[in-house]
Chains A and B, each alone.
Chain A
Amino acid sequence: MTDFEYVLGLGDDALVAAQRLAQWAARAPEMEEDIALANIALDQLGTARLLLTYAGELEGADRTEDDLAYLRDDRDFHNCLLVELPEQDFAVTMAKLLFLSAYQKPLYDRLADSGDERLSAIAAKARKESAYHLDHASLWTVRLGDGTDESHRRMQDAVDRLWPYTHELFEGEHADLRAQWLATVEAVLADATLTRPADGGWTPGGGRQGLHTEHLSYLLAEMQVVHRAHPGARW
């Protein structure tokens, strides 16, 4: 029997990532990138809907995807901290997407072969999208890292700043995915002439237990405001 909170966590990762990426709409550095980011946000939202719907069924309390997305507070969200961090600049967005997709891709690969038929069908669909997200983020990481002095500085800064948050992805049953994740990420960083940050030191976590950064409640306030103001309305 698949665990409700486990599926909820995967769904929350995708939902919060989608919300952050959607904030780029009409603000990306070029029109084509605007469309690419919206595309990726739509993919993440699509996966979030499937996972949250399934989580609601696992819970057995008649909560729909909308109930779970709009009527939970930050303490009941189980996403990793990485996805809730603010975008700040394009390099941060690409570093986040690189770290997230390099994690989601092998995770969905694994879940696609899991005994849970429903989860494996969702993962089989999502992993193709993750492969595209990883490709996109890798390309931009190399482009910025191996671009100008300024883009290199920003990309390195983004990687350094986000690296501590990646440890949380490999808590518990995902621990063995880190080797594969590192192989993917280290190759991209090397290609991008970037320095791979050292491990150890500060390793923030707690997202899976509902202990978030201060950024999540602001994100949820914006995401949930209409639903909170008109509870029970049909859209």
Chain B
Amino acid sequence: MAHTHVGSLHAPDAELALRNARDLYTRRQEGVSIWVVPSAAIVASSPDEKDAFFDPAADKVYRHPTFYDVPEGAGHL
């Protein structure tokens, strides 16, 4: 399934960040995939722009993908 944001940590570089994340957040479980991203690389939408970003979608129901039947057997959508 999808990667979920689980938290932040400090590390000198990406390699150590991966290892730190493995200890801090996954307890080294097998089969877990970790992504690390420097915070500077993330651009977030501003709460001030909330209306402009989200309102236009909210009042047009046809924008929501709820009118389609998901075929059986199509997992992980």
Binding site for B on A (CB under 8 A): 30-32, 35-36, 39, 132, 135-136, 139, 143
Verify B10–A31 contact, CB threshold 8 A.
yes
Which one of A32, A132, A135, A136 lies within 8 Å of B9 (CB-CB)? A32
Is A139 within 8 A of B15, CB to CB? yes
B residues adjacent to A (C-beta < 8 A): 9-12, 15-16, 19-20, 23-24, 28
Q: Give the interface SS of chain B, mostly helix, strand, loop or mixed.
A: helix
**CB <8 Å contact, A36 and B23:** yes
Q: Is the CB of A132 within 8 A of B11?
A: no
* Contact assessment for B19 and A36 in the assembled complex, using a CB-CB cutoff below 8 Å: yes
**Cβ–Cβ contact A32 & B24, under 8 A:** yes
User: What B residues does A139 contact at CB under 8 A?
Assistant: 15-16, 19
List chain A residues, Cβ under 8 A from B23.
Answer: 32, 35-36, 39
- The residues of A that contact B12 with a CB separation of less than 8 Å are 143
* Inter-chain contact B15/A32, CB cutoff 8 Å: no
Of all chain A residues, which has the CB nearest B17?
A: A32
Report if A36-B15 is in contact (Cβ < 8 Å); known contacts: A30-B10, A31-B10, A132-B28: no
Q: Which residues of A contact B20 (CB under 8 A)?
A: 32, 35-36
